[in-house]
Amino acid sequence: MKDQTRLLKTLFWSLAALPVAAGLAYAGAQAGVLPFENAGGTEKIEQDSAGILEVTTEALVFRCTTGTLTMPFSTIAFMEYRPDLSRRVRELKLKWSVTPEPGGGKRNRYFTVVSKTKDATRVVVLQVAPRSLRPYLAEIELKSGKRVEVMEYGEYD
Residues 83 and 46 in one domain: yes
The answer as to whether 157 is a domain residue is no
Cα 81 → chain centroid: 10
Give the contacts of 141 (CB within 8 A, at least 6 positions apart): 147, 148
Residue 6 has what pLDDT? 59
In which domain, by residue range, is 62 found? 34-150
Residues 76 and 88 in one domain: yes
Residues 48 and 25 in one domain: no
Helix (H, G, I), strand (E, B) or coil at 102: coil
The answer as to whether 155 is a domain residue is no
What are the pLDDT digits (tens) for 19-38? 433 333 333 334 567 899 98
At residue 146, does pLDDT exceed 70?
yes
Residues 27 and 81 in one domain: no
pTM for this model (two decimals): 0.74
Counting the structural domains of the chain, the total is 2
What are the pLDDT digits (tens) for 79-88? 999 998 889 9
Residues 62 and 107 in one domain: yes
The answer as to whether 156 is a domain residue is no
